[in-house]
Amino acid sequence: MKKSILLLAVVFSFGSMNAQMFQFGLKAGANFSNLEGNDISGSTYTSFHFGAVVELKLLENLSLQPELLYSSQGTKIDEAGFKDINYNYFTVPVLAKFYLISKKLSLEVGPQFSFLVNESVSDQFEGETFDFALAGGLGYNITEHFFVQGRYVLGLTEANKDAEVTNRVIQFSVGYKF
């Protein structure tokens, strides 16, 4: 009985602390991506991303923000006879979030781990199953619940098995925190 009461006390105190230190949200937005390297020539590919965001407050002006996103990216191919390259990933950015102005404007930077879900042109350019990148950008909390973000993702590993290319993505997002 004492263990049950102690467990309930811990759960309730974590729940009250949870609202201050933990926020969950959803976000979606546009991707403007390209594959960059010597083995390919293409132009900006416009697509989308969506997923979940968690913000864990570490200090007064510092949070950790892991995300789980579905992200469609690639490049438009300008050569006749080739289809546009489209890679769809589950991406996991893990960002340090530094608040610059109160709880409104934040600088976000950290690694991103991407796992290939499917691709549109496996017969032309087979994608690597894992992509590692560095992500950085700005976020702005419009209200307590609504936010916007802009981010640049710089691929550090090759995104393709047949060509020496890396992902480059600019993302604009809108989101809602519960």
pLDDT at 16 over 80: no
The pair phi, psi for residue 51, each rounded to 5°, is 165, -160
Contacts of 64 (CB under 8 A, 6+ apart): 55, 56, 58, 94, 95, 96, 97
Q: What does the alpha-carbon distance between residue 166 and residue 37 come to, in Å, rounded to a whole number?
A: 7
CATH number given to 22-177 = 2.40.160.20
Answering whether pTM is above 0.75, one says: yes
Residue 40 or 27, more confident: 27
Q: Which residues share a beta bridge with 139? A: 106, 149
pLDDT at 99 over 90: yes
Q: What does the alpha-carbon distance between residue 33 and residue 91 come to, in Å, rounded to a whole number?
A: 14
- Domain spans in the chain, listed from the N-terminal domain onward: 22-177
Q: What does the alpha-carbon distance between residue 113 and residue 90 come to, in Å, rounded to a whole number?
A: 8
Q: Tens of pLDDT along 35-92?
A: 888 767 778 999 999 999 999 999 999 999 999 999 999 888 877 667 788 999 999 9
pLDDT at 5 over 60: no
Least confident residue range of 27-31, 35-39, 134-138, 173-177: 35-39
